[in-house]
Structures are given as C-alpha cells and as structure tokens.
Structure 1
Amino acid sequence: MARIVVLGAGGQVGRSIVAEAVKRGHEVTAVDQDQNQMKSLPRKANAMTGDVTSRDVVAQQAQGADVVVIALAGCARPEHANVARVMVDVASKLGNKAPSVIHVGNGGLLENTDGERIVDTQEFPAGERKEALDQADALDVLRAAKGSVKWSFITPPPRNFGPGRRREAYRTAGDRPVMDSQGNMGISHEDFAIAVLDEAEKPKFRNKRYTVGY
C-alpha cells in the first residue's frame, strides 16, 4: 500500500484516479479547491479542500507521500505550470524523501503524423489552446527539474477522452497519439486512471512524457 496524493481530485479525471487508487487499497488524500466537487469521492479517500498551487498545501501533502498525482481540470490562470513549479521546488527540498510526481497532461501537446504539435494546428479548438499551452509550460518545468525530482507526464488522447466503459486495457506511445488500424483514438477516464495507477505502482516512464489509448 502506498500513500497517494491527488491534486485536482474534484475534476472528472481526478475523481477517476482517486477511485482507482482506493480500489487498489492505497491510502489516498484527495485535494481540490472546490469543496462541492469533493462530495462524490469514495468515502475511504481523505478529502481536503485547499489551493493546489499553494506551496504550503503542496509541501504539507508531499511530506510522507509516495506519489503525488497532478490532475487539474481546466484553468483560468497558469495553474498547471504554477503547480509544477511548486511541486519541483518542494520535491527538490525533500531530496531522497520526495514523492514521485505523475502529471496529467493535455493531448494537444502530442504530434500529428506530420510531426506538428496538435495544439498548433488549425483543427485544435481555440477555446482549449490556453490550457494546452499552460500544460506545455508545465512539461518544460518538469523537464528542467534536476536532482531527486522523479516525474512522469501522462498525456490523454486529444480526442474521445471522457467517462465511459472500463475495459481494463490500454496501450502506450511516445509523442504521437495511440491509434487503432482505422485511425481512431481515445480512452475512457476509467481506463486512463488504470494507466496512472500502473505508473504509480511500477513506473516505466520516469522523467518522460508519454501517452495512452486503446
């Protein structure tokens, strides 16, 4: 059993990750700024309301944690990059006692078949571009981290990512989305959470960005 902290636990993805972690028997602390979003979390999760970009909150939760999952839903300011900076700073100070970090990214950062970032194409929704670019900044922060900071950046598909059927199956890839033989991509929140917990329990993508899909 591991102690796992989920920052942004009130969002749909965060709730799925919390549920999967609890199901596997881990000690889970769920942190979110919106108390109303925490009501549907599993009872076995330790729910806490707090600013997930606050150094004090992150430092407190990181103490004694094995894994910190960053799963923020949307942003009205550079939340993703800010929490990544705070997490790197906290982990650097904790040294060998620092938890590993799993950051849930944005599918727009993946590349299309021409090697172009999907967020930079005309097809990418304009309303989602700000968040994707904020996630790009967060990835840069993690890549620049040194010393004992252990991180993984898991990216969902840029399309067809939402609540759905739990298949208990997924495939992984590097810079381009996972696609089937017909060029389709996607994964449910439930199976994405399985991938996150698999990485938490047995990391295979330490200090790397990767993606998952069916």
Structure 2
Amino acid sequence: MKARNMGTVVWLTGLSGAGKSTVAASLERYLTGLGLRAYVLDGDKLRAGLCSDLGFSDSDRQENIRRAGEAARMLVDAGVIVIAALISPFSSDRAGVRQRFGAGEFHEVYCACPLAVCERRDVKGLYRAARAGRIPLFTGITSPYEAPTDADLVLHTAVETAEESTARLIAFLRARGALPMAIDAAALAG
C-alpha cells in the first residue's frame, strides 16, 4: 500500500536561474522516495505543451499562470503534492492562484537570488540574448519581476546549496502540516 497524502501546492517563484527547477526536482525525488504522490509543474514544460499558444506579453504571462494554477488545483484535488516551478512574475497573479486553494493547501516559496547570480548561472544564454535585444520582454531585464513581500518561505538560493534549500523547504512543509511527520514503514514496503 502506498503512503497516503493530502494534496497541496508548493509554488516556487523567482527569476530565471534562481534555482526553482533544481529545488523542485530535489523535493520531488524526496517525496516520491517516501512513497508520496508528487508532481512538478515546470514552467518550461507547460510552455511547450498546455501553454504553447502563449507569448510573453503581460496578458499572456497572466494566462500562463492562470492555467498553471488550474492544473495545480486539479492535481491537488487528486491528492497530489504539486511543486510548481514558474517565474510567475506578477504578485497579483500569484495571489489569484492562492485564492483557488483552501487553508493550508498553497505555499508560496520565493527562490531569492540576485539578478547577477542568475545571469552567471544562465546555461541557456537567455540573459545574454535579452541584454542583446534578441529576447524582448525578458523577466528581470526588459519585463518586471515583482518579488514577493509576503512569501510563506524564502529560500536564499544564491548562498544555500540545493540540498540546504530543499531541507529547509521540507522542514517548513512538515511544520505547516503539509507533509506527514512520519511515514509508516510498513505502508512503504507494500
């Protein structure tokens, strides 16, 4: 028998290169290793499929986050721990998604990382292309990012390792009651 868990969403927000996808993958590995049902909603994957018809105007970004929020809502209803890793640049959009969830179901986690560090981590060359004018409306360069002022948790991904950030996130989720305090070993063995 698999361990049972209630659905919840961990919404990772931050600039491109801030470590959202890395922390999301690490958290997912940990949760599935415990036998919990977890799924990463990754911004890049959503843009390649469900949101492939959207560009990067403010209204398209808002619709992208709305769709991601709806997908997260359905997965949470199915008892999945959803780890959303999306830039989600506008505070009003993040607040709108939060409103779709009940108490204790939504946890906004800000992957705080200075722009200069994100640019150094830029393996895809996106910041270079944006600074050269080849990518219009790039978040943090030519399009705004509204950093959360009231995130449930702030991970300082420029100074913490991915393992440290993940450990702090797990401790936070346990303290919030979003993860079981202990997993029954017999349930995992079945």
TM-score normalised per structure 1: 0.45
Higher strand residue share: 1
TM (normalized to structure 2)? 0.50
Highest relative contact order (Cα 8 Å, sep 6+), 1 or 2?
Answer: 2
